[in-house]
Structures are given as structure tokens and as C-alpha cells.
Amino acid sequence: MNTKAPPARSNLTRSEFLRAASSLACASCAGLAFGPRAASASPVPPAVPPAPSADELKAARDENQFTANWLTDLFEAIDREVDPAVQQRLLQACGRGCFRRHQFKQDLAAAGKGNADKLVEAYRMFFGIERDGDLVHIRYGDHCFCPAAHHPPKGPKDLHCECTRASHEAIFETALGRPITVELVESIRRGGQTCHLIAHLA
């Protein structure tokens, strides 16, 4: 008869672990992308979940790799099979969805409601930004922050940049209550040193 106690396991289910890991990853990304102000916005640190088991870590790695492969295949199929105009509309729809899903983007629009100068000031918490008359220059750092863009191959016509552009258009249009054109000047995924966009206010 085997009386040996079973090995201790985390109380987290696999889905609970994945949710907790995603939350920690998002918090780390916020610190990298938006600087120390965003990373330290809450005075109460999040609770640290129990250490995952080896099986849970492997399951998370496998799921991440599966998703990365699937996204790569999807982008390659879109690039190969879909008309360029439709490609742009698809990614622009993702960018508008990103605006709806992320509260900080909605908060930017709310902070600048009806006033371009207030919108620019709100943007400073997260992006490099400057206004030159009717042109608003938005700049990122030296890498792409979107997790969905980490795996698909880069290139001079990279589709993912249309998602970013449309997301900023959604912020400006929601804040100012009228159509705004955001121009993509440079992007890291298209071979640039940074991501540089210009919102045309007139």
C-alpha cells in the first residue's frame, strides 16, 4: 500500500493561472510602454498568485506558441489572398476594436473631449507627442508594444500598422467629435527607428 503523500499542487486551475499570468504580463507591458507613472499608478500592488506547476507552465507556453503560429498563418493568408484595400479595412477594424477594449484609450478621448490641447496633454502620459499648428505628432519608443505584432514577419507593407493608425484615429475622432485623418509616417515594423504618426486636425 502506498502511503506517500501526493505532491503539493497549486490551488489555481489552468484557466485561473493563465488569467493571472496575462494580468501580470499586461502590468509589465504597461510599465515598459508607458513609463513609471503608469506602472506605479496603483498604490496597492496586485496579489502574487501561487507558483504554477511545471505542467501549467508547459501548457501556457504551448498555448502561446499555438496562438503565435496561428496569427502568423492568418497574416500570411491575408497578405496572399485578400485585396489590399480589404486588408487595410480589416486591420483598421481591429484598431477601432482596440480603442473600445482598452479603458486608457477611452480615458484619453474623454480627457480631451472637445479640446485638442487637452487631448494632447492627456496623451503625454503614454506617448511622445507635440502639436505644431493643425498637426499633432505622436511618437513611440524603439519597439512595437502590441503583443499581437510580436510574431508575424515584419516588412515594408506591414499590415499591423493600420491597426495602430486606426486606433489613434478612433481616439481623436471620439474626443473631437469629427473625422480626423491620422497619417503613418514611420513604423518600426516597416523598418523605421520608431513609430511616428501625425493627426491632421484640419
| All structural domains of the chain | 84-200 (3.30.1380.20)
Q: CA torsion sign, 7 to 12 to 18 to 21?
A: negative
What is the structure's pLDDT at 79?
A: 86
> Rounded CA gap, 69 and 20, in Å?
23
What is the structure's pLDDT at 145?
A: 84
What is the structure's pLDDT at 84?
A: 92
How much is the pTM? 0.69
- Which neighbouring-strand residues pair with 139? 128, 196
C-alpha distances out from residue 158 to 75, 100, 172, 187, 189, Å: 10, 23, 23, 9, 6
Mean pLDDT, 10 residues at a time, the chain of 202 residues: 42 42 39 41 72 92 90 88 94 96 96 97 95 96 84 82 96 98 95 95 96
CA-nearest of 15, 6, 21, 19 to 51 is 21
**Which one-letter amino acid corresponds to residue 41?**
A
Is residue 136 classed as helix, strand or coil in its secondary structure?
Answer: strand
> Rounded CA gap, 149 and 159, in Å?
10
What is the structure's pLDDT at 35?
A: 44
